[in-house]
Structure 1
Amino acid sequence: MSIPRRFFLQAGASTLLASLVHGCVQSSQRSLLSVDDSLLAQTKKRGYLLVVTEDDYPPFEFLVNGKPTGFDYDLLERLRKVVPFEIRQEIMPWQGILPGVAAGKYDLALTAVGITDERSKLLDFTRPIAESTIAYIKRKDDRSIKTLRDLSGKILGAQQGGVSLAAVPDLEAQLKQQGGAIAQVKQYRGFAEAYQDLLNGRLDAVLHNIVSLSVLVDEKPAIFELGERVSRKSYAAWAVKKGNQALLDLLNGFFSNLHDQGELKPLQEKWLKISFEHLPPQPLLPGDRPIQ
């Protein structure tokens, strides 16, 4: 902060110090989010807010030399600065995250969770942080796949228990209308293995969200090629246990502030290689959205 020279002429050192301290306190108070009493009690009982993130889901969250990084990690660091309690983070494979939050083992799935009708029965979602529509990726040199229709008779890869697997019925319905059908869908714990099988010819295409595939193609344009969207328009959000309204309100306030202050778009462009100007202010379930 720049202090005009005339200020020093008009005020003593003690007055200047008091003014600076007062200003910093006011700024700190303005930056803190309002926290519901029930959430404070909930956090006090555990001693901290416990969030869980995935370890292999770039660009949203992943590890570099054993340290967490990515879009969601940047958001976590900003969240830590505006809440009056400690936030601890655990990192684990995808398969244990949502069951852990639904059971109350963790307070928050701080990861890009695809919003589905089935998940909404056990979890509540924040306002979306990104689009998560499922598309496909293929090998650059594979000339047999040019349009969505060409996925008929092909072997596809999807994540076990993930939203890419949940998008398969939409794709099957579209292919059926054209007289086609998927040959097989192989399920993988992580996408790294699925991409490797794609390169080795064990798969013809991999289904994943449009953001992750866009980043991969941006990094390896000579190897992979992005295909069409295969499902209804969908979104990714953070998730809390069903009924934890106090935490949900806090997080939605956090995202609203980031959006209003112009901080969310630069983070999206940095990590996702795309920005989303008009995300809905609340989750929309797949049943509310037509197939693209």
Structure 2
Amino acid sequence: MKLKTVHTLVLAALALGASASARDLATIKKSGTLVVATEPTYPPFTYTQGKNIVGFEAELAELLAKQLGVKVQWKTSSFDTLLIGLGQGRYDMVIASHGITPERQKAVDFANPHYCSGGVVLSKTGGPKTVADLKGKKVAVQLGTTYATRARSLPGLGGIQTYPNNTDALQALMAGRTEAFITDRFVALEARKKTGGKVQVGQLIFQEKIGIALQKGNKTLVTGINEALKKVQSDGSYKKLSEKYFGEDIRCK
């Protein structure tokens, strides 16, 4: 899914200890509630359906909480503030398709990856499909993502336009304001489905591992989430959930 990033200064502040105390696993179990934050604008991973937050990652969070013997209390925020809120102790964990990067690992801890993905070139049918095809082309990216960072490193682009979320970026592509959209491969597949094949999924630019973010040093919760993830991946419930949304098992091989 999306390999997103936040500003380096924010990560540096978190890494230097600009955070509130995290609730450890024992405290969470005693409370009966796991406070989970996400940005629910990223179908099929997390999105809203009426008043509910649904999607692959949403249901996975519920499965993990069940393994811990607690219920999920959802919090929502824009992607670029999620890790800030985590550092401030406003919630226990973030599940929002964060790519696990060395930069982020200085500021937060990650559970073991719960799926693997990668960035691709998405365009209208007949449009650019490879990095080479992007030369001189206007490219859309979501603000605050590593797709934006990667796009800036690509040679010869005709311009990079940032959008607050994937929906706006896709709309820009469909309206012809950009000629390609660099995004997560699952987002691209979902866009192809929703547009009735009016867009095409091109070259995989890079691969990524996606993980749940937890406050730095919260070892008991990291261990608890890892054990819960291992359990749901071994008892068949992860596979069933993954196939429900993607038709395949998307765990890292």
Instruction: Indicate whether the TM-score tops 0.5.
Output: yes
Higher Rg of the two aligned structures: 1
Partner of 2:227: 253
CA shift, 1:238, in A, is 0.9
Report what 1:271 is aligned to: 245
Aligned pairs (5 A) from 1:42-81 = 44=30, 48-81=33-66
Correspondence for 2:171 among 193, 196, 199: 196
Give the C-alpha shift of residue 205 in structure 1: 0.8
State the AA in 2 paired with 1:220.
Answer: T
Percent identity at matched positions?
26
Unpaired runs of 5+ in structure 1? 1-36, 176-180, 281-292
**CA distances 1:52-104 after superposition (whole Å, capped 9, x unpaired):** 01120111100122321100111122223222344311122222212111332
Summarize deviations over 1:158-178 as a string: whole Å, max 9, x none: 111123223325x51xx4xxx
Q: Which residue of 2 aligns with 1:183?
A: 158
Deviation, structure 1 residue 128: 1.2
1:216 to 2:191 alignment: yes
| Pair 1:69–1:150, CA change in 2 (3 A) | same
Which one-letter code corresponds to 1:91 in the other structure?
T
SS at match of 1:133: strand
SS in structure 1 opposite 2:67? Answer: coil
Q: What does 1:230-245 correspond to in 2, within 5 Å?
A: 230-231=205-206, 233-245=207-219
- Identify the residue that residue 7 of structure 1 maps to in structure 2: none
Aligned residue for 1:225? 200
3-state DSSP class of the match of 1:76? helix
Q: Which amino acid aligns with 1:98?
A: L
Uncovered stretches (5+) of structure 2, i.e. residues with no partner? 1-22
TM-score for the superposition, normalised by structure 2: 0.83
Which residue of structure 2 aligns with residue 40 of structure 1?
26
Return the structure number with greater strand share: 2
Is the aligned partner of 1:103 residue 2:91? no
Q: Does 1:120 align with 2:94?
A: no
Could you tell me how far apart the structure 1 residues matched to 2:211 and 2:141 are? 20
Quick one: which of 176, 180, 196 aligns to 1:205? 180
Distance between the aligned counterparts of 2:135 and 2:69, measured in 1?
53
Counterpart of 1:162 in structure 2 is 145
Count of residues paired in the alignment: 231
Report the counterpart of residue 150 of structure 1 in structure 2. 133
Output the CA distance in 1 between the equivalents of 2:139 and 2:29.
43
| Deviation, structure 1 residue 251 | 0.7
Higher relative contact order (CA 8 A, sep 6+): 2
Quote the RMSD (CA, aligned, Å): 2.2
Mapped to 2, the partners of 1:273 and 1:226 lie a distance apart of 17
Partner AA of 2:150 in structure 1: A
